[in-house]
Structure 1
Amino acid sequence: MKILIVYGTSEGQTRKIARFMEEVLQGGDHKVVIADATEEPPSPDGFEAVLIGASVHMQKYQSAVSNYVMRHLDILNKKHSAFFSVSMAIASNIEEEHEEIKKMTLDFLERTGWNPDEVQYFAGALKYTQYDYFKKLIMRMIAKKEGGSTDTSRDHEYTDWNNVKTFVLNFCSETVQSVR
């Protein structure tokens, strides 16, 4: 089966998740094409399934992902497709944080007109070693509030890789069943 994965990333965690999905799917003999939304990704037309992911920064998803979805909306709404959202809020123990991300995702889908078959949420990472001084302070304050690590001497990854693997394998299984 031919699967397209398009992603938007700000600090690289969404790209890492997309690459992991690619590895899992290629191990199942699928033909996978992966593309950054900022680099002219291919049309979803020639694919049986499409996965699109974006990370949350400053209360929104990357504009390149929105532009891609709107440019290919008619095709996407006819394909078996899924959206995966990556954010630190999902790692939080605060339910309001989860609800805020879900609302942001619903707003994104409503604004673009896309109706994916599935939506999945993955926790991201704190990339303290990549932040400038001010961003490091802000992210440390947010992490403290949400129960994340405040050790700024290293990066902290919160992505549940087993959850990512289960999601992508189930998605492909559903795609195979819907194609038959």
Structure 2
Amino acid sequence: MKLLIVYGTTEGQTRKIARFIESALEDCGHHVTIADASDDPPPASEFDAVLIGASIHIHSYQPAVAHYVRQNVQVLNQKPSGFFSVCLAVASDLEEEHREAEKIASDFLIKVSWSPKMVGHFAGALKYTQYDFFKRLVMKMIAKREGRSTDTSQDYEYTNWDAVKAFAMDFAGKLEVVKT
């Protein structure tokens, strides 16, 4: 099948996750095109299925992702599609953090009128080396509260790659059902 992955990223972790999913789906024999939402991705109508990923920053996703979904929502609602949300809160041990991340995703999907067949939630990364002074300070305080590393001289990845692969395989499995 011909698949499209569109992603929005701020520090690059969502792109890394999208590339990982791309590789997993190609290993299943699918032809995958990947595009950054801010780079004028191709229309969803040109593909058999679409995955869209975005990261949560300050309780919202990248505007380019919302714009892409709104432009293609009718097609997205008619064919196999999935959404993956990347948020550091997913790595939290606090259930309320998980619920908040899920609510942000749910509210986003309602706002753009999209009903994807699958939704995945993945932890992102602390990219201390890419943050400006203020953001580094805020993220360090959050990390300390969560019991995470506060050494700002390096970055920390919290993405569960097994969960990402399971999401990709589940999506691929749903495509096989559609194909038959």
Contact 2:76 2:114 in 1 (8 A): yes
Question: Is it true that 1:79 corresponds to 2:73 in the alignment?
Answer: no
Gaps of 5+ in 1: none
1:11 is aligned to: 11
1:107 is aligned to: 107
Q: How many residues align?
A: 180
2:152 is aligned to: 152
Cα drift, residue 30 of structure 1: 1.1
The CA distance in 1 between the partners of 2:170 and 2:103, in whole Å, is: 24
Q: Where do 1:22-171 residues align within 5 Å?
A: 22-171=22-171
Letter of the aligned partner of 1:61 in structure 2? Answer: Y
The CA distance in 2 between the partners of 1:96 and 1:85, in whole Å, is: 16
The CA distance in 1 between the partners of 2:149 and 2:25, in whole Å, is: 32
Q: Which deviates further from its counterpart, 33-42 or 23-32?
A: 23-32
Percent of aligned pairs sharing the same letter: 56
- In the superposition, the TM-score normalised over structure 1's length comes to 0.97
The CA distance in 2 between the partners of 1:104 and 1:135, in whole Å, is: 21
Cα drift, residue 24 of structure 1: 1.4
The CA distance in 1 between the partners of 2:174 and 2:28, in whole Å, is: 14
Contact 1:124 1:159 in 2 (8 A): yes
The CA distance in 2 between the partners of 1:166 and 1:98, in whole Å, is: 19
The CA distance in 2 between the partners of 1:148 and 1:118, in whole Å, is: 30
Contact 2:3 2:50 in 1 (8 A): yes
The CA distance in 2 between the partners of 1:171 and 1:110, in whole Å, is: 21
Gaps of 5+ in 2: none
Letter of the aligned partner of 1:24 in structure 2? Answer: A
The CA distance in 2 between the partners of 1:108 and 1:33, in whole Å, is: 24
The CA distance in 2 between the partners of 1:167 and 1:103, in whole Å, is: 19
Q: Please give the per-residue CA displacement for 1:109-146, whole angstroms capped at 9, x wherever unaligned.
A: 11000000111000000001111221111100011112
